[in-house]
Structures are given as structure tokens and as C-alpha cells.
Amino acid sequence: MKKVLFIFSLLFPFITQAQTQYKASNGVTYHVGDTVKLGRGSKSDGSFLYLEDHGLIPNPRSVRNLPKEFANVGAVIKNIRTMRINGVDKYIFSVNPGGPMRYTVFIDDAIAACEVKPCTPETGAAPVNSVADEIKKLKALLDSKAITQAEYDSQKKKLLGQ
């Protein structure tokens, strides 16, 4: 058993790569020492799916998820690393939400599930367009004669709050 642990300790630096910062899918650049704002757990019981404690020796049967009582608190980033899982690079933060335990966060998955804020909009949610974008669309409809000049003017005034 000691030989296995020794070999694993030699290979571990090649399996994961430590970093000091990461620009996540929500556009925020996180650094070691920053505080991540937690949202709400996405599991049916309110606990967090993407914040896990594997214990001192990783064992898939002993994974504990962060409980729902930690919703809307901050967790300090202790380290940032990447790990290749099924051919995909996953960015993992080690965080401390308070107390003696550290949890691993699959950051982009947690953002997508709104377990970390700010989170990305749900897939399929209508994108938020600016007023200028909406006016451009109206102008294209006017140019293609899909709407009249009066309809264009009316909708443009609504968009501009006039």
C-alpha cells in the first residue's frame, strides 16, 4: 500500500496542474485567496452537487457534498488546479466555506448550476439584448418591408422610453 501511495505522489503533479488564477465561464477571473460567492445547492435536498469533500484519502464511496446551510455564503479559494477527466480539462478550486473542511469545486459546473454566483443563465433562456440590438432588428424588418415605417417608429419609441 505504501508503494502505491508513493507512486501516486510522484504522478500527482502530472495529473493535476496548479494555477494562481482562472477566468471562469461567468467572466470572473478568480485568484487564490479570493472569496467565491456561493448560491444555492442544486440537489433535491438543497445540498451542493458540485462542492465535494472526498476526505483525506479520495474514495468515491465517501464523497460528502456541502450541505444546504452554506447557501449564500462565501468560500475562500485555497488553490486552483486543472484535471483532465474523460478527455476534458476541468478547473477545480479547493475552497474553505468555514470550519476545518476544504471542499473541491468543479467551478464551471457549479456556475452553470448557479451553485456559484454570478452564474450563467440557464441553457435555452432568452438572451438579454440591448436597446441598440433591438433597434437594429427593427430596422432590418423595416428594410425587408416586414413592418411599416409607422410600426418601426412606434416600436423604436417604446424601446427608447419616449
Same domain for 58 and 86, yes or no, is: yes
For residue 63, count other CB atoms closer than 10 A to its CB.
12
In a domain, 126, yes or no: no
Structurally, how many domains does the chain consist of?
Answer: 2
- Retrieve residue 10's grid coordinates: 510522484
Residue 43 Cα to chain centre, angstroms: 16
Mean of pLDDT values over 134-139: 86
Put residue 31 in one of left, alpha, beta given phi > 0 → left and psi -120 to 50 → alpha.
Answer: beta
Same domain for 80 and 142, yes or no, is: no
Same domain for 68 and 141, yes or no, is: no
Q: What is the pLDDT of residue 141?
A: 85
Same domain for 94 and 35, yes or no, is: yes
In a domain, 15, yes or no: yes
Q: What are the residues whose beta carbons fall under 8 Å from the beta carbon of 108, sequence distance 6 or more?
A: 24, 25, 90, 91
Q: What is the pLDDT of residue 9?
A: 45
DSSP state, 33? T
Same domain for 31 and 76, yes or no, is: yes
Mean of pLDDT values over 127-135: 72
Which pLDDT band holds residue 55 (cuts at 50, 70, 90)? low
How far, in Å, CA of 70 to CA of 36, rounded?
12
SS3 at position 130: coil
Same domain for 98 and 135, yes or no, is: no
Q: What is the pLDDT of residue 84?
A: 84
Which domain does 64 fall in, by range?
Answer: 10-117
In a domain, 2, yes or no: no
Q: What is the pTM of this model?
A: 0.60
Express each pLDDT in 64-123 by its tens digit: 888 888 889 998 999 999 888 788 888 989 888 877 778 889 899 999 999 999 986 544
Same domain for 33 and 77, yes or no, is: yes
Which pLDDT band holds residue 60 (cuts at 50, 70, 90)? low
Residue type, 15: I
Contact 38, 71 (CB under 8 A): yes
